[in-house]
Structure 1
Amino acid sequence: MAGRWVLLLVSFLLPGILLSEAAKILTIATLGGSHYLLMDRVSQILQDHGHNVTMLHKRGSSIIPDFKEEEKSYQVISWLLPEDYQKEFHKILSFYVKEAYNDRETFENLIKLMEQLGFQCSHLLSRRDIMDSLKNENFDLVIVESLDYCHFLIAEKLGKPFVSVLTTSFANVDFGLPSPSSYVPVFHSLLTDHMDFWGRVKNFLAFFTFSRRQWQVQSMYDNTIREHFPEGSRPVLSQLLLKAELWFVNSDFAFDFARPLLPNTVYVGGLMAKPTKPVPQDLENFIARFGNSGFVLVAMGSMVNITGIQEVLKEMNSAFAHLHQGVIWKCKHSHWPKDVNVAANVKLVDWLPQNDLLAHPSIRLFVNHGGLNSIMEAIQHGVPMVGIPIFGDHPENMVRVEAKKLGVSIKLKELKAETLALKMEQVIEDKRYKSAAVAASVITRSHPLTPAQRLVGWIDHILQTGGAAHLKPYAFQQPWHEQYLLDVFVFLLGLTLGAVWLCGKLLRVVSRWLCGARKLKET
Structure 2
Amino acid sequence: MHCHFYLFIILTYVVSHQEAANILGISHVPSSSHFFLFQSLLRRLAEKGHNVDIATHFVSSENPEGYEQYDFSNKNITRLLCLKFNWSNKMWYSVNINFKKFLYIFRYNQLSLIGSLPLLINNISINVVKSLSDSDVIYFMTKVCGVEACSLTLQTPALQDLKKSKKKYDLVITEIFGSDCMLGFGHFFDVPTISLVTSTLLPWAAERIGNPDNPSYIPSHFFSSAGNLYERLENTIKLLLSKFLYAYFSSEESNEIAKEFFGSNMPSLEKLAKNTSLIITNNYFSIKQIIPAVPNLIEIGGMHIREPKILSKYFENLLSTDTKGIIYLTMGSMVLSESFDNDKLQEMFDAFVELPYKVLWKADREKLPKSLKIPENIHFEKWMPQIEILCHPNVKLFVTHGGLLSGQESVYCGVPRLGIPIFSDQFNNIRAAEKMGVAIKVAYHEISKEKILKAARKLLDDPVYKENSERASRLFKDRPMSPLDTAVYWVEYVIRHRGASHLRNVGADLSWYRYYLGDVIVVLCISFLTLLMVVVFLKFVILF
Q: Which position in structure 1 is the counterpart of 2:489?
A: 457
Size of the alignment, in residue pairs?
479
- C-alpha displacement at 1:209, in angstroms? 2.2
> How far apart, in 1, do the equivalents of 2:125 and 2:26 lie?
24
Q: Which amino acid aligns with 2:162?
A: S
Q: Which position in structure 2 is the counterpart of 1:212?
A: 244
8 Å contact kept, 1:58–1:78: yes
Q: Which position in structure 1 is the counterpart of 2:190?
A: 159
With the length of structure 1 as denominator, give the TM-score of the two structures.
0.83
Q: Which position in structure 1 is the counterpart of 2:22?
A: 24
Q: Which position in structure 2 is the counterpart of 1:494?
A: 526
After TM superposition, the structure 1 = structure 2 runs for residues 373-452 of structure 1, keeping only pairs within 5 Å, are 373-452=405-484
> How far apart, in 2, do the equivalents of 1:429 and 1:95 lie?
34
8 Å contact kept, 2:304–2:484: no
> How far apart, in 1, do the equivalents of 2:410 and 2:18 lie?
34
Question: In the alignment, does 2:251 pair up with 1:221?
Answer: no
* 1:482 to 1:358, Cα distance in 2 relative to 1, 3 A: same
Q: Which amino acid aligns with 1:221?
A: S
- C-alpha displacement at 1:427, in angstroms? 0.7
8 Å contact kept, 2:328–2:361: yes
8 Å contact kept, 2:134–2:222: no
> How far apart, in 1, do the equivalents of 2:354 and 2:336 lie?
23
Cα RMSD, aligned residues only: 3.0
Percent identity over the alignment?
Answer: 25
Q: Which position in structure 1 is the counterpart of 2:505?
A: 473
**Cα deviations across residues 309-347 of structure 1 (Å, max 9, x unaligned)?**
241333333322121111111111331322334321111
- C-alpha displacement at 1:454, in angstroms? 0.3
Q: Which position in structure 2 is the counterpart of 1:518?
A: none
**Cα deviations across residues 390-410 of structure 1 (Å, max 9, x unaligned)?**
111111111111111111111
**Bigger mean CA deviation after superposition, 361-370 or 111-120:** 111-120
Name structure 1 gaps, 5 residues minimum: 1-16, 61-67, 516-523
* 1:455 to 1:112, Cα distance in 2 relative to 1, 3 A: closer
**Bigger mean CA deviation after superposition, 38-47 or 69-78:** 69-78
**Cα deviations across residues 5-61 of structure 1 (Å, max 9, x unaligned)?**
xxxxxxxxxxxx99972111111222222111121111212112221111111369x
> How far apart, in 2, do the equivalents of 1:306 and 1:138 lie?
45
8 Å contact kept, 1:168–1:372: yes
Q: Which position in structure 1 is the counterpart of 2:100?
A: none
State the secondary structure of the residue aligned to 1:136. coil
Question: In the alignment, does 2:222 pair up with 1:188?
Answer: yes
8 Å contact kept, 1:268–1:451: yes
With the length of structure 2 as denominator, give the TM-score of the two structures.
0.80
Q: Which amino acid aligns with 1:387?
A: G
Q: Which position in structure 2 is the counterpart of 1:306?
A: 337
8 Å contact kept, 1:170–1:249: yes
After TM superposition, the structure 1 = structure 2 runs for residues 1-12 of structure 1, keeping only pairs within 5 Å, are none
Q: Which position in structure 1 is the counterpart of 2:174?
A: 144
> Among residues 87, 105, 112, which one is paired with 1:78 in the alignment?
112
Q: Which position in structure 2 is the counterpart of 1:12?
A: none
> How far apart, in 1, do the equivalents of 2:322 and 2:273 lie?
51
Q: Which position in structure 1 is the counterpart of 2:380?
A: 348
Question: In the alignment, does 2:397 pair up with 1:365?
Answer: yes
Name structure 2 gaps, 5 residues minimum: 1-14, 65-104
Question: In the alignment, does 2:248 pair up with 1:249?
Answer: no
> How far apart, in 2, do the equivalents of 1:243 and 1:230 lie?
19
8 Å contact kept, 2:255–2:268: no
Q: Which position in structure 2 is the counterpart of 1:235?
A: 268
- C-alpha displacement at 1:257, in angstroms? 0.4
8 Å contact kept, 2:125–2:336: no
> How far apart, in 2, do the equivalents of 1:423 and 1:76 lie?
44
**Bigger mean CA deviation after superposition, 443-452 or 150-159:** 150-159
* 1:465 to 1:360, Cα distance in 2 relative to 1, 3 A: same
State the secondary structure of the residue aligned to 1:144. strand
| Structure number with bigger Rg | 1
State the secondary structure of the residue aligned to 1:428. helix
State the secondary structure of the residue aligned to 2:402. coil
Q: Which position in structure 2 is the counterpart of 1:274?
A: 306
